[in-house]
Amino acid sequence: MIRSLIAGNWKMNGTTVMLSVVEEIVNGLKSRGDEADCLICPPATLLYALSDAATGTPLKSGGQDCHAELNGAHTGDIAAEMIADAGGQYVIVGHSERRADHGETSDDVRAKAEAAFRAGLTPIICIGETLEEREAGQALNIIAQQLAASLPDNDGDAGAVVAYEPVWAIGTGKVATTEQVDEVHTAIRKQLEERFGAKGAGMRILYGGSMKPENAGALLSLTDVNGGLIGGASLKAADFLAIYDAGISNL
């Protein structure tokens, strides 16, 4: 049985005003029990405050990206150790927005995931095809290549989390069909098992891309969907908690 992870990615949204949403989520989780892991990755400026507010509650916190190195002359970047120091337990790496906006390659992503392990964080390693790649019948090939190259060989003690996020479904309202998600997640699981054996069978694979309360139940009921990476809908406590409820109702 794989423990689900419902993860919110706030992207570049949120100032201290959004700490009230954290409070609502924390209160909501208190009345719900602890059947799945629940995580928010806020902008770096809010990480310490969010981690502080989440201390002693089931809510976990994480970063949205990290630099591969421990420290040094990298203006504007954040080391994985800094995320851990601010109370984070997870870090998203290789999000398609970082791959597109900052030219990050799968080699860069693997180095960042290794840095996450070094700092004791769990990396959430994102992979996913563009619309052109899907229409060209290349989705499974692209995903297999990204997965192979982005995941470190030494998978750390905690293990990595993989997030499948079709680029065309992110922030567009276009959610992948359950058939598409099922096909990709089954292929990812097979590749993880081939590479990591029994450990690969237990690794979490999240779906991300326009997940919301209305579609979360169907997506989270698929065998190899072990949670969600949620952007827009994680900015509202009620929607995020409704997705969490959809996740735990399938356990």
Residues designated catalytic? 95, 165
CB 150 within 8 A of CB 192: no
Task: Tell me how far apart the alpha carbons of residues 122 and 112 are, in angstroms, rounded to a whole number.
Answer: 11
Report the 10 Å Cβ neighbour count for 45. 11
Q: Which of 21, 44, 170, 192 binds ligand PGA (CB under 6 A)?
A: 170
**Tokens found for residue 186:** 């089954």
Q: By CB under 6 A, is residue 209 in contact with ligand PGA?
A: yes
- Minimum distance, C-beta of residue 51 to ligand PGA, in the bound complex (Å): 20
Q: By CB under 6 A, is residue 208 in contact with ligand PGA?
A: yes
- Minimum distance, C-beta of residue 163 to ligand PGA, in the bound complex (Å): 7
Q: By CB under 6 A, is residue 232 in contact with ligand PGA?
A: yes
Q: Which of 230, 237, 243, 246 binds ligand PGA (CB under 6 A)?
A: 230
- Minimum distance, C-beta of residue 230 to ligand PGA, in the bound complex (Å): 5
3 closest CA partner among 28, 30, 35:
35
Beta bridge partners of 227: 5
6 closest CA partner among 52, 50, 37:
37
- Minimum distance, C-beta of residue 171 to ligand PGA, in the bound complex (Å): 4
Q: Which of 50, 229, 237, 246 binds ligand PGA (CB under 6 A)?
A: 229
Q: By CB under 6 A, is residue 210 in contact with ligand PGA?
A: yes
Binding part of the chain for ligand PGA, among 30-38, 73-81, 135-143, 204-212 by CB under 6 A, reads 204-212
Task: Tell me how far apart the alpha carbons of residues 21 and 42 are, in angstroms, rounded to a whole number.
Answer: 11
CB 66 within 8 A of CB 116: yes
Task: Tell me how far apart the alpha carbons of residues 60 and 37 are, in angstroms, rounded to a whole number.
Answer: 8
- The binding site for ligand PGA (CB under 6 A) comprises 9, 165, 170-171, 208-211, 229-233
